[in-house]
Amino acid sequence: MIDKICDKLIKRIRAKMPEVDDERAEVIKYGLELIIGEVPKFFITLCIAWIFGVFKYTLITILIVLPYRLSAGGLHMKTHLGCILGTNLFYVGSAFISKYIVFPGLLTKWIFILGVLIFSSIMIALYAPADTENIPILQKKVRKNKKIKSYIAILFMVVLSIIVKDNVISNICIIGMLIQSINISKLAYSIFKLKFGYLEYIKDEKNAFSIFIKNKEGFL
């Protein structure tokens, strides 16, 4: 349904703007799909959160985790239904787990926080920003800025988890950080058969260079 709407919009755009080539049209279509899909997806997420009794905490999860999500990137499902399911599992799931998880002691919680921080830092260093083949992030300056923002985001979440008095919100910071850090990992991308856009671009560049060298050697 959304694909058909976006296709019609793209046809109208290209009719009025002939300079829009196929590559730019794909980027515009992807953006339209995100915009059109986000409104009903957000509404569905809030409805499910209300059903499970975590409406308030789901909103808080979105506010706390979204900056990390936007800077670090991560999984994007290939279908609209998959995207809805993934969003609900992420935000509603994080809020639901955080509401009921109880650490046996303060020391255990501190160890858990430290472990999640170390794991998240490693994932950011290796994979952030985790892009997609449809919308690769190729500019080195942009990638560097997003990586820095990702580190700032997780540090903010750790500090908030320590100073906030509400135990559920404290848990949301850590559980949300953990799930988002898993989302940008190579393992998560492999499970859902996705590829990092930037790494694929580098691979294509290396292959093209290798072919060029071989052809040059053959010519000589």
Helices (H), ranges, 75-165 = 80-100, 106-127, 140-163
Q: What residue type is assigned to position 27 of the chain?
A: V
DSSP state letter for 49:
H
- CA nearest neighbour of 65 among 145, 167, 182: 182
What is the helix (H) or strand (E) element at residue 30, kind and residue range?
Answer: helix 22-51
> Do 126 and 189 touch, CB atoms closer than 8 A?
no
* Structure confidence at residue 206 (pLDDT): 54
Location of structure tokens 């921080």 = 117
**pLDDT of res. 155:** 98
* Those residues with Cβ within 8 angstroms of residue 145's Cβ, 6 or more apart along the chain or in another chain: none
Cα separations in angstroms, 97 against 79, 92, 101, 143, 168:
26, 9, 6, 32, 9
The whole-number pLDDT of residue 220 equals 52
pLDDT of residue 1: 63
> Smallest Cα–Cα separation from 71: which of 175, 140, 134, 142?
142
Q: For residue 212, what pLDDT is reported?
A: 36
Residue 97 CB partners (closer than 8 Å, separation 6+): 171, 175
Q: Are 13 and 20 in contact (CB under 8 A)?
A: yes
Residue 104 one-letter amino acid: P
**Tens of each residue's pLDDT in the chain, 220 residues:** 667 777 788 788 888 888 878 778 877 877 787 777 677 888 999 999 999 999 999 999 999 999 999 999 998 887 878 888 999 999 999 999 999 999 999 999 999 999 999 999 999 999 999 998 878 888 999 999 999 999 999 999 999 999 999 999 999 999 999 999 999 999 999 999 998 988 887 876 555 434 434 444 454 5
Task: Report pLDDT for 210.
Answer: 47
Give the other-Cβ count within 10 Å of 162's Cβ. Answer: 13
String of b and e for 27-38 (b: at least 16 CB within 10 Å)? Answer: ebbeebbeebbe
Please tell me the pTM assigned to this model: 0.80
